[in-house]
A = this chain, B = another copy of it.
Amino acid sequence: MSNHPRTGSPRTATLTAAVIFAAAAQLYAVGAPGAAAVVETAKKPLTGAQILAASAPSDWRPLDPHNTLYMELPTGRVIIELAPQFAPHHAANLEALAREGYFDGLWIMRAQDNYVVQWGDPDAKKAIHKAQRTLPAEFERPLRDLTLTRLPDPDTYAPVTGFVEDFPAAADPSVGRAWLTHCYGMVGAGRDNDVDSGGGTELYVVIGQAPRHLDRNITLLGRVVQGMDLLAVMPRGSGAMGFYEHPAERTVIKSVRVAADVPESERTQLEVLRTDTPTFAAYLEARRNRREEWFKVPAGRIDVCNLSVPSRLRASAAAPK
C-alpha cells in the first residue's frame, strides 16, 4: 500500500506529561515571527496523534446528553452536538422537535455536491405541536459572553477565528460580536428570504469546502461529531440545488432523539478534546506544522475549518459496568 497522501501517523506513543507540557509551552510563541523555528528546536516534537495518545482524561469533555441529538439513518447513527452558546432558542426548539417525534419518518431530501445535505419535510406540511415552526434568527452573539480560544493565523473572512468549546467560530472584536463558522460538518437551520423564517424544521449540514459566505446569513446551531461519513455520501440530487426529483431517491430518517431520552446503555459515549487546555494548544501547533516524516514543507498556518476538534469514544464506555 504505497503512494498516498497521509494524514499523520496512526502509531501512538506513551509519553510523560512533562513532554506534553513542554510541547504545549512552546505554543505561547505562536503567531510571532520565528514560531516555527522555536518548535523545531525541540528535540523531537510530537505529532498530533502522539499528543492525543498522551493526553490526560481531564483534557476531554463528555458530550452533554441534553445538548446531543441522535439521528438514526438506515446506515447508522449521526450524532449532532447542539450549540446553545450561539443559538439557544434554536437548540431548545430542536430538542422540542425531537421530543415530539417531528423528524421521525421524514427524509434527507437534498444533496448538492460540495455544498450541503439537507433534511426535513419536503412538503412542509407535517404538524408541529409544542415546538415552533419559525424563530428569530440567531446569527451572532456578544463576544464577551463567550470563551474563544483564538487561532494565530489570518483568515480570509473574519478578523479573528478560533474555537468556543469545540465549535469553530469567528469574531470581530471591534464590534464585540462572534458567530459560528460554516465549516465541514456544521449544522444550520434552513430559511427562506426572510431572516426569521427558519427555526430548525429543515436542517442542513456542510459537506464540502466551507461556504463561509453563509456566515451571519443563516443560523448555525450545532455540528456533526460522528456520522459525517454517512451524510456526505448521499447521492447528489439531480434537481435544482441538489434536491431529489423523485421521492424514491430520498433517505428516510428513522428517528431523531435527544441523547438524554435514550437509555444510557444505548447511548454513544463520546467525548471531545477541550480547547482551553495546553494539550489542545500543543495539538494545534502540531497541525499548523506537521511533524510526520511525510511532510516536507510545514504550512506554518491553519484555517479554522481545517482543524476538526478531536472526539473519541470514552474509555469507560468500553469497560464492563
Determine the residue in chain B with the shortest Cβ distance to A200. B3
Q: Could you say how many copies of this chain the assembly holds?
A: 2
Q: Is the CB of B202 within 8 A of A301?
A: no
Binary flags per residue of A276-294, CB closer than 8 Å to B gives 1, else 0: 0000000000010010011
Interface centre among A154, A212, A215, A294 (most CB of B within 10 A): A294
For the complex, give the distance between the alpha carbons of A303 and B181 in Å. Answer: 14
The count of chain A contact residues (Cβ–Cβ below 8 Å) is 76
Q: Is the CB of B4 within 8 A of A204?
A: yes
Determine the residue in chain B with the shortest Cβ distance to A192. B2
A243 contact from B1, B3, B185, B235, Cβ within 8 A? B1
Given contacts A157-B299, A217-B295, A306-B211, contact A229 B236 (CB under 8 A): yes
A85 to chain B, nearest CB (A): 20
A112 contact from B2, B7, B155, B233, Cβ within 8 A? B7
Interface residues of A in 253-309 (CB under 8 A from B): 287, 290, 293-299, 301-303, 305-306, 308
Residues on B with C-beta less than 8 A from A211 are: 5, 306
Selected A-B contacts with CB under 8 Å, 27 pairs: A1-B122, A2-B124, A3-B120, A3-B189, A3-B191, A4-B202, A5-B116, A5-B191, A7-B241, A113-B229, A113-B232, A154-B155, A156-B156, A156-B301, A156-B302, A156-B303, A157-B299, A157-B301, A157-B303, A193-B293, A207-B232, A209-B305, A212-B306, A215-B297, A215-B299, A217-B297, A232-B232
Query: Which positions in A face B, CB cutoff 8 Å?
Result: 1-7, 10, 110, 112-116, 118, 120, 122, 124, 139, 153-157, 183-185, 188-193, 195, 197-198, 201-202, 204, 207-218, 228-229, 232-236, 240-241, 243, 287, 290, 293-299, 301-303, 305-306, 308
